[in-house]
Chains A and B, each alone.
Chain A
Amino acid sequence: MARPINEINAGSMADIAFLLLIFFLVTTTMDIDTGITRKLPPPPPEEMPDIKVKERNIFKVLVNSRDRLMVEGKGGHISLLKEQAKAFLSNPNLLDSNSPEDMPEKRQVDIPLFGGDVWVTKGIISLKNDRGTSYDMYIQVQNELAAAVSELRDELSMNKFGMKFSKLSDDEKIKAIQKAIPMAISEAEPEDIGGH
């Protein structure tokens, strides 16, 4: 009494798949997380060695609790910050060890791709904010400073390799550019700078 084997009805397969599909459609979130990546410095040692940095090597940016900017001791505006930072960090001649009086000093760095020793700016951007500064303003300032560095890198990369920094794929070239134009943004230890 051999029963004929029935075929499994696959007609409802589509329905099952639809059900799953709708479930994933609903639960899915397509947003890709983006943001500004930064590296925090390690906590300061107990006895802080007093590192003296010359005045001309620092580009001071202060943000007070009313989101007002103070750039190099003068009132500033967010729309001008990028150009000011660029002017401060710019290094038109990598092979020249001297820099004008009003520009930061340079130090020697060995970058084989650029033909050995080149002179890189010692400039540091120092960012200080008040506890009352709004996060939005803080991010805007970080963004402008990052934009200044990335534009300078783009320019140098265009000059040396003929393409933008972000388009470079060779690890060595990326390293060379990063060495020639360091991302020197330092954040001061938090303190109240007033302006309540």
Chain B
Amino acid sequence: MKEQALSRRSLITGAAAAGAGVLLGNLPLGAEERAAQTAAPPPTAPADPTKVPGAPTTAVGERSPFVTPKRAPVGEITGTSFTPIQDLTGVITPSDLHFTRIHAGVPTIDPAKHTLLIHGMVDRPLEFTLADLKRFPATTRMAFIECAGNGRAAYRSPRPNMTPQQVDGMMSNSEWTGVMLSTLFNEVGVQRGARYFLAEGGDACLMARTVPVSKGRDDAMVVWAQNGEPIRPEQGFPIRLLLPGYEGNMNVKWLRRIKLGAEPFMTRWETSKYTDPLPNDRIRMFSWEMDAKSIITSPAYPEKLEGHGYRPITGLAWSGRGRISRVEVSTNGGRSWANAELLTPQAPKAAVRFQYMWDWQGDESLIMSRAVDDGGYVQPSFSQLEAVRGPGTDYHFNAIRAWKIAKDGTVTFEANT
């Protein structure tokens, strides 16, 4: 909250210093201002809904007034808004709750004017309108997108009262529809020797990342639809790059240009950011694939277990390298593990929902989940990860997560176990 207030103030100061006070009217509201504007009275329902006619049909449906999932924090133009993963079921993230990481605000783009230029080391540079792209054969698939920085706050500044949203809410999972990038590569004729391409977004920082051409030939897509409708503005409307399994930042939103080249472009977002310091004065770059990870979303803070007996331990698991082959759950701090049931199909580079029925008898317990992917990779413990990466590293943080259950049923986040 303090940070948000500060950032807005600094923006105001910046704008004033630049003599550009006119911009202020367009700045997003801070979290507190927004909350004040949207504060609504608590919902009410008729004593007997079967005795009064209900509401009429509407153009666009809304959630029950009793259900109010929210992304948080909000009001930043360079920041992140996390998905409330503890409020969701199955594996589809409702599009309006997909996490958002933006670097210069969400641009407003007229789809009729938006084009995708593909040029550089190609035989035929081409510019495609949205209508052109939709005339290619379409592909639909499930894929998660996870920010490379997901889990950072829970590592650097953990608190027992962190929710799943605050711990790992920069991961969302959707059905995406678009054209395979390999189809577009074929259309332009990618030249021999082109090993990388630059993907550039149409936001106010022209966000740009280097991607290997091999990924473009494999499963990369240019997508225009998410969960059955056009992509939402904060997810890249009208088109975004989808690189299944790669760190979120590379899935460039508002995609406007692809340039084929022989060498990496070395943009700021792949050099001074999104890189991993390692022991012995090394810094790892181009760590694109998101390794297997999971988190229990219930029970989790701020839930409180009421009554002993069976209840499901449920959560999400995903791997940027392939399919989740199994998820294991421990209720004794990792001393023993049992296989959880997978409730959804094991699609490659997509989230699965797991469930483990737990008979809680009131003991203090530490519950954990551990994902295993089809490459045999086992989600590491915190100490394993810290030993190989060093305590200063925080991107691509995929250590096992734990929740502590107190005798009275109180659940708290147990960091870095």
Q: Do the two chains bind? A: no
